[in-house]
Structures are given as structure tokens and as C-alpha cells.
């Protein structure tokens, strides 16, 4: 049975992530390498556990989270599709030796594909969890250049650099998923955050609703959603 640990030690997956990080670095995008992959996997597994999914579903959420961005080296605009196809090519084995049931393979592929496809209707919990884990990763550590002049020139860098805390928590009793951010307003205003993240936050709300939860965004101790 394929697990997150096996995925994390697969040389081809690691090379896909490495080359994706190099490709996005050349485009001057924020960090999408092993740091991001590990964080999304970790958050996805924890959320799956907290909302009460099975052990196997927790593992599927984690490994989908780890692999969700690995298709970026083939092209940014369709990276979610490339990633899903690459995952199938690497791990699709039929018969008794299969690491996944057909349903599990479909769910993981769908989760990788759905994480950046905002017009999709969500139909499995793994997709919803990966969306929330991925979109919650806004943080200073994702900014490549530490030069203040460059950070202030680029809105994405400015917003990420200004975010000194990013935490997502599940409150099962209240049926809430809370994303809590601490933003240093010396670097960007709260409005600038919404300039680039409104669509993503709407997608998080859609994902939470699919899980039967309400999504809340809390910035600097103020509840905004």
C-alpha cells in the first residue's frame, strides 16, 4: 500500500518537485518546493483526522497534498492537470500488486487537479482538504528574495512577506474551519491581501462547505469572513 513516506522517498516525485521549483523560480513565483509540499501534506493529514476521515483517507489527503504542485515544471497554467496525469503514470498498477484501489487513485488525481481549478464542483473530501491546506500557506518564508526594494515592488511578494503567521484549524464541535493570519501592515494593507486572494478565499469557503463546515478568515484578530 502506498503511503506518504513512500511518496516522499520516491526519486521521480522528488525530481518533479525539484524541477517545478526551479521552473517557478525562473518565473519569479513564490516558493513551491519541498517546504510547501511538506506543509500542505502535514496540514491536509491533520485536517482529515480532525474532521473524522478514516486512516486511509487521511493518508490519501497527505500524499495528494505532497504531490499537488509537482506538475509545474511542465507549465504553470495547466500544472494541476499535469500533476494528476503524472501521478497516474507513476503509480497506476492493476491487479493484486496495485497500491491503490481504482477509487483511491481517482480521488487523489481529482484532488491534485481540483486544487487550482476554481470552476470545478467538488465531489470528494480529499479535494476539499487539499484546497484548504494549499491556500492556507501564505507566509514570509515563501518569498525568494529578501531584498526590501524588490519585495515592495511585487504585490504577491509583499503580501506573503507581510504574513508572519498562518494557521488553519478545525473546530469540529462548531463545524468551523478557521484560517488565522498575522499581517504586518507596514508591508501591505489588508486590502492588498484581498486584491490577490479573494478568489482563493472563496474557493476555501466552497471547500469547507463541501465538508459541511463554515470557513472563517481571521486577520490580525479581526474576523473578516
Gap between the terminal Cα atoms of the chain: 40
Q: How many CB atoms lie within 10 A of CB 38?
A: 16
Interval 62-81 mean pLDDT: 96
Interval 190-204 mean pLDDT: 92
Q: Kindly tell me if the per-residue pLDDT of 147 is higher than 90.
A: no
CATH superfamily of 4-223: Hypothetical protein af1432 (1.10.3210.10)
Distance CA 178, CA 216 (A): 5
Give the gyration radius of the chain's Cα atoms.
17
Q: Kindly tell me if the per-residue pLDDT of 156 is higher than 90.
A: no
Please name which of 93, 100, 50, 42 lies closest in space to residue 68, comparing C-alpha atoms: 42
What is the predicted pLDDT for the residue at 72? 97
Answering whether pTM is above 0.85, one says yes
Lowest mean pLDDT among 103-112, 135-144, 150-159, 194-203: 150-159
What is the predicted pLDDT for the residue at 92? 86
Residue 115, CB half-sphere, CA atoms under 13 Å: how many?
A: 35
The greatest distance separating any two alpha carbons of the chain, rounded to the nearest whole angstrom, comes to 58
Interval 75-85 mean pLDDT: 95
**Number of residues that make up the chain:** 225
pLDDT in tens, 20-44: 999 999 998 999 999 999 999 999 9
Average per-residue pLDDT for the chain: 92
Lowest mean pLDDT among 55-64, 70-79, 104-113, 188-197: 188-197
pLDDT in tens, 112-138: 999 988 777 899 999 999 999 999 999
- Confidence band (pLDDT; 50, 70, 90) for 149? low
Q: Kindly tell me if the per-residue pLDDT of 96 is higher than 70.
A: no
Interval 200-216 mean pLDDT: 96
Amino acid at each position: 500500500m502506498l503511503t506518504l513516506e513512500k511518496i516522499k522517498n520516491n526519486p521521480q516525485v522528488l525530481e518533479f518537485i525539484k524541477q517545478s521549483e526551479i521552473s517557478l523560480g525562473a518565473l519569479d513565483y513564490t516558493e513551491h518546493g519541498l517546504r510547501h509540499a511538506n506543509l500542505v501534506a502535514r496540514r491536509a493529514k491533520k485536517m482529515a483526522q480532525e474532521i473524522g476521515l478514516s486512516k486511509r483517507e487521511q493518508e490519501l489527503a497527505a500524499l495528494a497534498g505532497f504531490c499537488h504542485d509537482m506538475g509545474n515544471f511542465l507549465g504553470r497554467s495547466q500544472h494541476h492537470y499535469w500533476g494528476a496525469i503524472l501521478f497516474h503514470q507513476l503509480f497506476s498498477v492493476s491487479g493484486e500488486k496495485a497500491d491503490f484501489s481504482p477509487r483511491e487513485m481517482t480521488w487523489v488525481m481529482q484532488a491534485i487537479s481540483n486544487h487550482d481549478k476554481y470552476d470545478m464542483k467538488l465531489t470528494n473530501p480529499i479535494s476539499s482538504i487539499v484546497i484548504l491546506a494549499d491556500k492556507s500557506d501564505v507566509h514570509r518564508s515563501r518569498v525568494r528574495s529578501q531584498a526590501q526594494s524588490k519585495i515592495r515592488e511585487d504585490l504577491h511578494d509583499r503580501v506573503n512577506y507581510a504574513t508572519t503567521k498562518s494557521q488553519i484549524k478545525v473546530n469540529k464541535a462548531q463545524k468551523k474551519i478557521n484560517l488565522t493570519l498575522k499581517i504586518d501592515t507596514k508591508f501591505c494593507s489588508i486590502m492588498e491581501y484581498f486584491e490577490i486572494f479573494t478568489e482563493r478565499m472563496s474557493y476555501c469557503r466552497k471547500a469547507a462547505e463541501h465538508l459541511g463546515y463554515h470557513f472563517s478568515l481571521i486577520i490580525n484578530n479581526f474576523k473578516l469572513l
